Amino acid sequence: MTVTIYWFRRDLRLEDNLALSHALKSGFPVLPIFIFDDNILDELSEDDPRITFIYESLEKIDIKLRKYGSCIKIFKGNPLQAWKDLMDEYDIKKVYFNHDYEPYAKERDNQLTELLTAKGIESHSFKDQVIFEKNEVLKSDGKPYSIFTHYKRKWLSQFKKELVDQQEAPDLNLFFKYHISFPSLEELHFTESAIKVRPYNLSILGNYVFGRDVPSEDSTSYLGPHLRFGTISIRMVIRQLRLKDDIFLSELIWREFFMQILYHFPRVVDQNCRAKYDNIVWLNKEEEFEKWCQGKTGYPFIDAGMRQLKQTGYMHNRVRMATASFLIKHLLIDWRWGEAYFAQKLLDYELSSNNGNWQWAAGTGCDAAPYFRVFNPITQLLKFDKEMLYVRKWIPEIETPEYPEPIIEHAAARARALETYKTGIKLK
């Protein structure tokens, strides 16, 4: 049984998928696989909504393939072990997958490539989840950018030269013909989550600049999880955009900016990008952190956001900034705590963006907000949810005595934050 193997990872679609379309041209029938990686899953609960989403996305692909006599082969366990099993079972000629830039994934893929090379198997990997990857947008001296504005300028100038061609529709007849059952959630030891990924909504493109700051209005695209798991291609999103929404495009460039930051400076994973802030003394009060997580700080704008996150796996962008600022500046809790909580809850969690944006809010990032920028949770409410539609939606008890008093007084907290940062910088 001679095959080419295509490995689905975070590109869970058949359409406009670079490595897949190359695999289908490899000259051998393509056996598509997916591996539920225990190294990653061990950190998650068995009903994590992201697992449910991955499972359902694979199921959809599998249904399409079955019409053509094929199916996806699903593994669960250690990826390298899965590959060794595959090598025992099939005569593998070529292997195709798309690039993944996260530290763990890089290491995993390097090990696999070594293993394949040792067995004399060709492997090919492709840029697919970004327009420009790690070393494609560099300064004239060949070094990576660490300032967004400069990165963006270069990105745009290169983008004008680049054609974003759509891949032709895949020929499903070229998949390897075989039949094995698609495992149930229970067989994989998962349970279905009540929290669901929503379909994306591209109709907001073009008006994003007007609606993006109003959390009560549904002017978000809900693209995050789809870009994270590749159920839509970034090229397709960009094509729809056609530069008509500069602000939205900017957000997509931030995504690639943070990806290349993580790639070039992997230490940001657990360290401040700017060492200047290493000596800030965080208060890290567990009970205050818990109140923040539960949406019980007594500040409606903050609490509404945290409850939306907990109940749905989403949080409006404006509110993400305000809640992050509140945790870091008002409560003086280490940004890594907030980063970890968002990583656990956000359906669109992406290591590079989550880390980059938390460091931005903390002022510790490469191109971050200045440390003295402290969001006023009351002003934010007045500015962006004056009618209180958003906060009432997420805090039903808001006008009852059940709703708590503010955990801390704003002006005093602000002064304390400025003082703490100043002291920390001096210690350095």
Partner DNA sequence: TGAAATGTTGGGGCG
Partner DNA sequence: ACGCCCCAACATTTC
Question: Taking CB under 7 A as the rule, does residue 321 contact DNA?
Answer: yes
Nearest-angstrom CA–CA distance, 76 and 74 = 7
Candidate residues 97, 132, 145, 375; the one interacting with DNA per rule CB under 7 A: 375
Q: For tokens 């067989």, name the residue.
A: 187
Residues 6+ apart with CB under 8 A from 92: 3, 4, 5, 86, 119, 121
By C-beta, is 98 or 353 nearer to DNA?
Answer: 353
Candidate residues 106, 264, 410, 416; the one interacting with DNA per rule CB under 7 A: 410
Q: What is the 3-state secondary structure (H, E, C) of the chain?
A: CEEEEEEECCCCCCCCCHHHHHHCCCCCCEEEEEEEEHHHHCCCCCCCHHHHHHHHHHHHHHHHHHCCCCCCEEEEECHHHHHHHHHHHCEEEEEEEECCCCHHHHHHHHHHHHHHHHCCCEEEEECCCCCCCCCCCECCCCCECCCHHHHHHHHHHHHHHCCCCCCCCCCHHHECCCCCCCCCCCCCCCCCCCCCCCCCCHHHCCCHHHHCCCCCCCCCCCCHHHHHHCCCCHHHHHHHHCCCCHHHHHHHHHHHHHHHHHHHCHHHHCCCCCHHHCCCCCCCCHHHHHHHHHCCCCCHHHHHHHHHHHHHCCCCHHHHHHHHHHHHHHCCCCHHHHHHHHHHHCCCCCHHHHHHHHHHHHCCCCCCCCCCCCCCHHHHHHHHCCCCHHHHHHCCCCCCCCCCCCCCCHHHHHHHHHHHHHHHHHHC
Question: Taking CB under 7 A as the rule, does residue 373 contact DNA?
Answer: yes
Nearest-angstrom CA–CA distance, 35 and 33 = 7
Candidate residues 383, 404, 412, 428; the one interacting with DNA per rule CB under 7 A: 383
Tell me the window of 80-88, 132-140, 332-340, 411-419 that interacts with DNA (CB under 7 A): 411-419
By C-beta, is 142 or 370 nearer to DNA?
Answer: 370
Candidate residues 119, 372, 399, 428; the one interacting with DNA per rule CB under 7 A: 372
100 near 106, Cβ under 8 Å? yes
Question: Taking CB under 7 A as the rule, does residue 380 contact DNA?
Answer: yes
Candidate residues 96, 126, 254, 394; the one interacting with DNA per rule CB under 7 A: 254
Candidate residues 163, 180, 194, 411; the one interacting with DNA per rule CB under 7 A: 411
6 near 30, Cβ under 8 Å? yes
CB of 315 to DNA, least distance (A): 13
Tell me the window of 10-18, 188-196, 341-349, 377-385 that interacts with DNA (CB under 7 A): 377-385
Tell me the window of 20-28, 65-73, 331-339, 373-381 that interacts with DNA (CB under 7 A): 373-381
CB of 368 to DNA, least distance (A): 11
Number of chain residues interacting with DNA (CB under 7 A): 22
Question: Taking CB under 7 A as the rule, does residue 359 contact DNA?
Answer: no
Tell me the window of 11-19, 53-61, 176-184, 374-382 that interacts with DNA (CB under 7 A): 374-382
Tell me the window of 39-47, 280-288, 333-341, 406-414 that interacts with DNA (CB under 7 A): 406-414
Candidate residues 87, 238, 418, 425; the one interacting with DNA per rule CB under 7 A: 418
CB of 375 to DNA, least distance (A): 5
Candidate residues 205, 414, 416, 425; the one interacting with DNA per rule CB under 7 A: 414
Question: Taking CB under 7 A as the rule, does residue 353 contact DNA?
Answer: no
Query: How many CB atoms neighbour CB 28 within 10 A?
Result: 17
Tell me the window of 91-99, 137-145, 234-242, 366-374 that interacts with DNA (CB under 7 A): 366-374
Question: Taking CB under 7 A as the rule, does residue 426 contact DNA?
Answer: no
CB of 421 to DNA, least distance (A): 9
By C-beta, is 62 or 217 nearer to DNA?
Answer: 217
Beta strands 91-98 and 73-77: pairing type? Answer: unpaired
Candidate residues 92, 374, 391, 395; the one interacting with DNA per rule CB under 7 A: 374
Please list every residue from 136 through 175 that binds DNA, using CB under 7 A.
148
Candidate residues 167, 191, 240, 317; the one interacting with DNA per rule CB under 7 A: 317
Helix axes 246-264, 234-241, angle to 10 degrees: 150
By C-beta, is 74 or 249 nearer to DNA?
Answer: 249
Tell me the window of 48-56, 76-84, 133-141, 247-255 that interacts with DNA (CB under 7 A): 247-255
Return residues touching DNA (CB under 7 A): 148, 250-251, 254, 317-318, 321, 369-370, 372-376, 379-380, 383, 410-411, 414, 418, 422
